[in-house]
Structure 1
Amino acid sequence: MTSTHTTGNAVAGRDRGGWSGRVRRAVRGDRGAVSAELVIATPLLLLMLLAIVQFALWSHATHLAQAAASQGLAVARAQNGTAAAGAASARQLLDQLAAGPLDNATVAADRGPVSASVRVTGTAAVVVPFLSLPVRAEAAGPVERVVPDLEGR
C-alpha cells in the first residue's frame, strides 16, 4: 500500500500557482517598463519645455522689435524728422533692450512727403536646436505737417 502525504512543500507548491504566483509573474513581465518609459518620456518632456521657452523668447523679441519700430516712427514722422534719424532711434532702443532675445536685427526706415514707416527684422534667440523663428515688426503713420492758418489770425 502506498500512501500519499501532504507535506509543507506541496502546500508551498500550490501557492506558487495561486494568487501570489500570478502577481509575481505579472510584475516580473513588466520589469524595465518604467525605465523604457522614462527614457522616452524625459527627452520629450524636456523638448516640450524648451519649445515653451522658445515661444516665450520669440514673443518677447517680437514685442521689443515692435517697440523699436514705434520709437523710430515717432522720430521719423516728426515735423523735421528724417528716415535716418528714425532708423538711428530704433537701432539705439534695440541696442539697449534687445541684446539677448533678438539676433541679427536690421532696421529700415522710409519717409515720404505724406507718410513714414520703420521696419525691424531679425530672428529670435535659438533655444531649440535648428528652430530659427523670424521676427518682423513695422510701424507706419502720417508725417506731421504744419497747416497754415487760413483765417489769417
Structure 2
Amino acid sequence: MSLSRIALGPLRLRSCNLLAKQLPMASMIPSQRHTATYAPGKAMGPHALHFKVERYFAAAMVPLIPAAYFVHGPIMDMVLVGALTLHIHWGVVAVVNDYARPIVVGPTIHRIAVPLAYVATILLLAGLLHFNTNDVGLTKAFEMIFAL
C-alpha cells in the first residue's frame, strides 16, 4: 500500500450523499455566456485607443534603447528623454490609478496622488532636459558609465 493511499484514505468520498443526489432539470438548461471583452459591433472607448498607443510606443522603444548606445548626439538624447519620460509617466499614473484608489487610501490621498504623479513627471523631464543641455547628454553619460 502506497504512502499516498494511507495519507489520503480518510479523505475519500465513499458514501457521500451529495454526490448521489440528482440535479434538477432547470439547472441543466444550456444558456449563452459571453466571455469576450471586445464586441466587434461596439465602438471602442478612448481608454482602448490610449492602451493601443501605449503598447505600440513601448514596442517602438525596444530598438530605440540599443540604437541610443551606438548613435550619440543631441537629437538622440532628446528623443530618448522624451520617450523615457512619457513611458515612465504612463507607468506611474497607471500605478497611482490602480493602487491609490479612494477606497484603498482615502479620498484625500487619492486627490493628492494623481497631481503628484504629474509633478514628478514634470520634474523628471526638467531634470533630464537640464542634464542634456548643460552636461554631456544622456547617451554619452551611459557610455561613460559602461566604460568604467
Is TM (by shorter chain) over 0.5?
no
| Larger helix fraction of residues | 2
Say which one has the larger Rg. 1
Q: Return the TM-score normalized by structure 2.
A: 0.29
